[in-house]
Structure 1
Amino acid sequence: MGVRLVGLLPADLDEEQAEVYRAITGGARASGPRAFPLTDEEGRLRGPFNAMLLSPPVGFAAQALGAAVRYNSSLKARTREMAILAVAAHFDSAFEREAHEAVGRTSAGLAESEMTALRAGRMPELTEPAERAALRATKALLRHGTLSDDEYADAVAAIGERGVFELTTLVGYYSMLALQLRVFLGEGTSIRNSKFTQ
């Protein structure tokens, strides 16, 4: 399967689409790592953002949710980026992996060994209990779509109820993006059965 959705040029956008475009390119994402541009050389949105232009009301809400999850969450940057990379590994999402490894390197302080482990679907060696608990919860959400009572209690003890809400939202949001990347850009061939080692 190849690319199904051709990128839209900025000059071809209607006003609603242009509003979504401006929210993505002019918002907090635009101040991210320069190693990962949001647009191609002609200004077309890259990755899942281009698909958001298909339905401006839904696309605008989706990009706003993504911005909230990334920039207004109580989760620490390392925890957030490791959870996103776990989702990327689960769905074999090259775009999410490339984008968030860039963020992990430049803004979240992730080591190459940690990203290598996440890329392979393994639990990195972590000394921070909150990071381990959040990744165990991410693994459970990806594999089972829920948390057991023990997993929930461990996650709440480590990152609080607000953190668990934000983590489940993050996993859902990046899973949605990964699915859209698969449908519109033909990314990934199989969903990996993530098995993090404890």
Structure 2
Amino acid sequence: MMPSDIDPVSGFRLPFPDREALDDDAKALYDRFCDPDGGSYVGLRGPGGIRLHSPQLALRTQNINTYLRRDAGIPLANRELSILVTAREFDSQFEWCAHEDEALKAGISPEVIEIVRHRKPIDDLPEEQYLIIQLGREMFGDHKVTSETFARALALWGERHLLDFVSVMANYANTAAILCVFDMQLPEGKEPGLPALD
């Protein structure tokens, strides 16, 4: 049952923003979110619809998203794994459900997804997958990245790509916080993909 403070149309604690109250740039972004071919996994009924209540935030976040998704040179599988790790560390059901299928399509194996979902040991994974998961677990779980993890990640990716990886995770941590505060509900018919919180 949906909590009483959730708008039944938007699926979060605010109604959708009024398109006519937006400036032209924000209207274009609103329309892109509503377009099934607009490049958003979840459309207006997700973090984009929430962010449009602050149009400049929505527009500037979109610029960062475009860089991290298309221009940073991060392979799709690595990006999707980074997002799943972030969603898991924040227990973000909506974020997880929006990206689990995308991670599978990008080539992340079901076994690796289960490792992330249940926080299983990662010692036997390939170096790149190991480092993505370990970096996220240390950054968000321990609030400190060890010198060893940093050195291994720097050696593998170099300065710019390491910063871009961290920025993908930080960007989706920002999204997880927004989804949490505005209590974004899962789409109808979607089951939670993460273990229930204690």
Q: Deviations over 1:79-121 (max 9, x none)?
A: 2111110111111112211111121122x11122221221223
Match of 2:134 among 125, 131, 136: 136
Q: What's the offset of the Cα at 1:177? A: 0.3
Shift of 1:151: 1.7
Mapped contact 1:17–1:53 kept (Cα < 8 A): yes
Q: Distance between the aligned counterparts of 1:132 and 1:16, measured in 2?
A: 40
More helix by percentage: 1
User: Is 1:5 matched with 2:3?
Assistant: no
Inter-CA distance 152–55: structure 2 relative to 1 (3 Å threshold):
same
Equivalent residue pairs, number: 178
TM-score when scaled to structure 2? 0.76
What does residue 97 of structure 2 align with? 98
DSSP-derived class of the 2:38 partner = helix
Query: What is the deviation of 1:155?
Result: 0.5
Change (3 A) 1:55 1:112: same
Paired residues for 1:33-44 under 5 Å: 36=41, 38-39=42-43
- TM-score normalised by L of structure 1: 0.76
Structure 1 counterpart of 2:190: none
Alignment match, 1:163: 161
1:17 to 8, 21, 26: 26
Residue in structure 2 matched with residue 42 of structure 1 by the alignment: none
- RMSD value, Cα: 2.9
Residues 85 and 136, structure 2, Cα contact 8 Å, conserved in 1: yes
| % identical aligned pairs | 23
Structure 2 unpaired stretches of 5+: 7-12, 187-194
